[in-house]
Chains A and B, each alone.
Chain A
Amino acid sequence: MLSYAIFFLVLVGIYGVLVLGLNIQWGYAGMFNIGVGAFFAVGAYASAIATTPPTPERLGGFDLPFWVGFAIAVAAAGAIAFLIGLITLKLRSDYLAIATIGIAEIISQILRNEGWLTNGVRGITRIPRPFRGWIPGQDTLLYLGLVLLALAGVYWLSERAYRSPWGRVLRAIREDELATLAAGKDVLRFRLQAFVLGSMLMGLAGALYAHFVNFISPEAFQPEFATFIVWVMLIAGGSGNNRGALLGALVIWGVWSGSEWFTNRLPPQWATRAGPLRILLIGILLQVILLTRSQGLLPERPPKPALATSVSSKQKG
């Protein structure tokens, strides 16, 4: 039971990093990225190739320490996001969404077809788990510590960014792009920065995932699990609110895991339908949230503008 709780929390933590990354792109800046899974996959593969022992099956591995792998994962996801952002961030939010579907599809085809790089559909095995054997039998607990440390760092960074002048410009772009442009802000530059930063976090989540499950293949990055559920987490928790994002990750992953308890009790002839049934449940949940509480469990609360508070205090005085 305890080991299940640790396992559960590790996945909540990894999804938490993903949702915080998406929150910077969608919650802060209003950029509609449906290619979350692609950046997640790039991070996972980059770190896996960097840290596994050398093999003739594919590129590498390079047998590097895990933290170097993490850094490479973040850099790789960021670099790809930079290139993609340069050509697509001029697009309106709905067109950007369509473009990111294309990017996700192309990256998923690369993972499948470029065997020299990724070992194709056979995937990458024996990805090392850091701290293995430091405290015998407590590998997963130690890893949970690492995930929570990463999550805390990402959360702190996201909150700082949100409250900074940089975050304020992003919110201004989200609310009124033309007015922000008229105020002299380089809108494309800010959007590109937010897109790259968010994608880097998704890459970090990918690395955290790869070293946790030790085996990755293109099948692990289906849009249902790598993209759709992340969106539902953010919408359910509250776009723009980092605490909401984390709450969403916890609640939706809880619903998702809880639904397995339900599908395990289905008659055996329904076993093959368990996966789609759970997706159906999450899809309906998303619709209900949008119809009844579209701002999420914890709605966004931007910091009060400093000017307004000083004016109102003067009026009081």
Chain B
Amino acid sequence: MASSGQGIAGAGVTQLLQLFIYGLVLGSIYALGAIGVSLTFGILRFANFAHGDLMTLGAYFALTFVGLGWPIGVSWIPAALATALCAVGIDQLTYRRLRREAPVILLISSFGTALILRSLVQILWGPNNQVYRSGIQLPWQLGGLRIKPDWVVILVGAALLVVALHLFLQRTRVGKAMRAMADNFDLAKVTGIETERIILWTWAIGAALACVAGIFLGLDTRLHPTMGWRLLLPVFAAAILGGIGRPYGAIAGGLVIGLAEEFSTLVINPAYKTGVAFAILVLMLIFRPTGLLGGRA
């Protein structure tokens, strides 16, 4: 996104602010993805490697509805529903039958699911870059800062979804049951919570958020069959940074990773941004494996 090579000392206030905005936008996308990872990891106890490709799938579902002439502000709703339905279907077809196996078998299975989803996207929508709308969106100029209208959509959209999630987790029976299961699965089960039903809810919500994250990423850059897979590392880093099973931590983690990646472009080649997420991930796991806000190891 940003030019590199000036070093921190040579960067003006405007440039730092500009990077801050880039970081917030990227961080919001990571946060939405990380919430889903954190929810499924917290409740199902396995790292779902197909989460990035769920984002890709959601972004392409939205592309189909946009292609029908619907505005993107409407298209995201059927796309999120379709992605949620796919996630529930995948769970019923594969993961549900593997729940008694070691978590690592589920991990391998999700690795296979990731490849299946990616190849399906390539078969159905083609291997090339695509965009929701052609033409360049003119950025607003605000005192030397460049702000794309899409970024406002992304920031406001992410904030609204986070508030909605908060209300869902705090106020509804299903939300409370999800938090209970994340805290103590066995205790939740003996209390009479229908764990299988809550697992389906978890998949649906995680996948819907993944879908929106994918749409936002497609809005900010472009759509490509590997767009979600490439996000897997920063999204997991965000979830672990926030403490696994802590959706609120995942939001903070997403923003930290997004900002760190963007500010790193002042000193390193932007191609190595992944290295920043990797470094944060490894340092966190070694020095504070429960996450910044305290979660499970």
Contacts and interface: CB of A to CB of B under 8 A. Distances in A.
A283 B116 contact: yes
Contacts, number: 115
Contacts of B285: 90-91, 95, 99
Contact of A102 (B118, B233, B286): B233
Interface string B255-289: 00000000000000101101101100110011000
Prevailing SS type, chain B contact patch = helix
Given A105-B233, A106-B274, A272-B126, A98 B115 contact: no
A64 interface: no
B286 A106 contact: no
Interface stretch (B68-76, B104-112, B180-188): B104-112
Q: Which of B94, B232, B233 has most A Cβ within 10 Å?
A: B233
Interface string A104-144: 01100100110000000000000000000000000000000
A106 B122 CA distance: 24
Interface of B: 46-47, 49, 93-94, 97-98, 101, 103-105, 107-109, 111-113, 115-116, 118-120, 122-123, 126-127, 230, 232-233, 236-237, 240, 269, 271-272, 274-275, 277-278, 281-282, 285-286
19 contacts: A87-B286, A94-B107, A95-B240, A97-B107, A98-B236, A98-B281, A105-B230, A109-B274, A113-B271, A113-B272, A228-B115, A276-B122, A279-B118, A280-B115, A280-B119, A287-B94, A287-B109, A287-B116, A294-B105
B278 A102 contact: yes
Interface string A252-284: 000000000000000000001101110110111
B116 A280 contact: yes
Prevailing SS type, chain A contact patch = helix
B94 A291 contact: yes
A276 B282 contact: no
Interface of A: 30, 32, 34, 87-88, 90-91, 93-95, 97-99, 101-103, 105-106, 109, 112-113, 224, 228, 231-232, 235, 272-273, 275-277, 279-280, 282-284, 286-287, 290-291, 294
